[in-house]
């Protein structure tokens, strides 16, 4: 596994190519395949319809009303397939960004906690 310092070296070009290809595949799936996904109810929705408790969700106000793309559609785009494709495009890149941001945040947290641990050791008061 490549470590941080060497991550941007020439030796790791292959890793970046792989990651790039993987991201492109994810974008292509989200944009070009998702509009043709099955619109049938999924497993839980199906059971909820069959067993008669889907109403409980329909009668409940969503606790979070500010989803910009509810049900993977962009409101301003009339064409259903284009709307799904656009939401897929945004969603894939957004998820990648949130994932990287979280990972960077965690790494930062780790570096900070290491720094905090160092001073007591230098004064000889470490337990």
Q: Which of residues 20-59 bind another protein (CB under 8 A)?
A: 22-23, 25-27, 29-30, 33-34, 37-44, 46-48, 50-51, 53, 56-59
Angstrom distance (rounded) from CA 30 to CA 93: 10
Among 113, 118, 122, 125, binds another protein (CB under 8 A): 113
Binding mask 65-94 for another protein (x = CB under 8 A): -xxxxxxx-----------x--xx--xxxx
Using the minimum distance from each CB to another protein, give the nearer residue, 62 or 124: 62
Decide: helix, strand or coil at residue 99: helix
Angstrom distance (rounded) from CA 20 to CA 23: 5
CA quadruple 118, 122, 124, 127: dihedral, nearest 10: 10
Q: CB of residue 125 vs another protein: minimum separation in angstroms?
A: 22
Q: CB of residue 56 vs another protein: minimum separation in angstroms?
A: 5
- Asked if 48 and 42 count as a contact pair (C-beta separation under 8 A), the reply is no
- Asked if 2 and 12 count as a contact pair (C-beta separation under 8 A), the reply is yes
Among 9, 10, 13, 64, binds another protein (CB under 8 A): 64
100 counts as binding another protein under rule CB under 8 A: yes
CA count, 13 A, side-chain hemisphere, 93: 8
Q: CB of residue 119 vs another protein: minimum separation in angstroms?
A: 17
């Amino acid at each position: 596994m490549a470590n941080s310092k060497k991550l941007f070296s020439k030796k790791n070009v292959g890793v970046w190519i792989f990651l790039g290809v993987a991201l492109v595949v994810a974008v292509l799936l989200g944009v070009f395949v998702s509009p043709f996904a099955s619109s049938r109810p999924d497993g839980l929705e199906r059971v909820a319809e069959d067993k008669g408790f889907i109403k409980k969700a329909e009668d409940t106000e969503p606790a979070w009303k500010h989803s910009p793309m509810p049900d993977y559609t962009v409101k301003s785009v009339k064409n259903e397939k284009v709307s799904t494709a656009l939401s897929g495009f945004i969603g894939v890149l957004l998820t990648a960004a949130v994932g990287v941001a979280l990972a960077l945040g965690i790494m930062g947290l780790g570096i900070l906690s290491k720094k905090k641990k160092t001073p007591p050791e230098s004064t000889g008061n470490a337990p």
